[in-house]
Amino acid sequence: MSTRLARIVTTLFVLAVVLLPIYWLVSTSLKSNREITQEGTLYPHVPTLDNYVRLFTEKQFGSYLTNSLVVTFFSVAIALVVGAMGAYAIVRFRLPFAMEGKVGLFLLTLRIIPPVVILIPVYLLMLSLGLLDTWLGLIATYTAFNVTFCVWMMESFFREIPVDLEEAAMVDGDSRFGAFRRITLPLAAPGLAATAIFAVLVTFNEFLFALALTATPRAMTMPRGTATLIGRIDTDWASMAAAGVIGALPIVFFALLVQRHLVRGLTMGAVK
């Protein structure tokens, strides 16, 4: 009986620790700046949606969200296609020169290096290509990061699919690529989904490169745009909180929707 009580108490405590900060964000977003700084209330006494309206009418939050969606969609989609093909080639073909067995390690090494390391040269590259503050510059950068990740993930998924199935299809007259597209790819669909989910999470949340590579609402992503609301002399706490809520909402919703894949994908690589 007492272990059960301890369990309930612990569960409630953990939930409170996780949820209290989120409660504070949401509740602050529903207060006026006056109520926030002068009254210091624990819940919104006069709830208002003004902060949200202001974000979209005065602070161009709509374009930040659009930019985020466009950039995330294209960089993840391109990386998935290109990464799946590359991973397949690594797993199933004999590669030329010294590439056999090395491409995977090479990409893994690139993944381990902290992104800050290439921040400056990528900035200089985009500057010289005239791609600063454009969708294309961000998409190119994020696609490159996502490709290393997709190849690495998809490699392990393809390895688990028996080669006999493709051989059977080829005996039946399918081409090599046809066998890949019609047999292997559908079998690897759960792996593709898990990979896509991670790529979306990481890309949607990325801040550092967005900070260096964008400067106006033309290309600023949501995290980047949110950061511009901060750091003025008078902090507009209410807008900041509302921006936080809107920034967190889509990705949390997405994550909860795909929860099962998320946990599986997260832990698979680590436990193996």
CB atoms within 10 A of CB 105: 10
In whole angstroms, what is the distance from residue 142 CA to residue 201 CA?
12
Between the alpha carbon of residue 17 and those of residues 13, 14, 21, 146, the distances in Å are 6, 5, 7, 33
CB atoms within 10 A of CB 195: 27
Q: Is 233 in the site for other proteins (CB under 8 A)?
A: no
CB 206 within 8 A of CB 223: yes
In whole angstroms, what is the distance from residue 152 CA to residue 147 CA?
8
Binding mask 55-94 for other proteins (x = CB under 8 A): -----------------------x---xx-xx-xxx-xxx
Q: According to CB under 8 A, which residues from 168 to 207 bind other proteins?
A: 170, 175-177, 201, 204-205, 207
Q: According to CB under 8 A, which residues from 139 to 158 bind other proteins?
A: 140-141, 143-145, 147-148, 151
Place of tokens 């040269």: 121
Q: Is 10 in the site for other proteins (CB under 8 A)?
A: yes
Residue 117 vs 186, nearer CB to other proteins:
117
- The nearest distance, CB 57 to other proteins, in angstroms, is 20
Q: Is 40 in the site for other proteins (CB under 8 A)?
A: yes
DSSP class per residue in 122-142: HHHHHHHHT-TTSHHHHHHHH
- The nearest distance, CB 40 to other proteins, in angstroms, is 4
Binding mask 16-35 for other proteins (x = CB under 8 A): -xxxxxx-xx--x-------
Q: Is 223 in the site for other proteins (CB under 8 A)?
A: yes
Q: Which stretch binds other proteins (CB under 8 A): 48-56, 59-67, 166-174, 184-192?
A: 166-174
CB 92 within 8 A of CB 163: yes
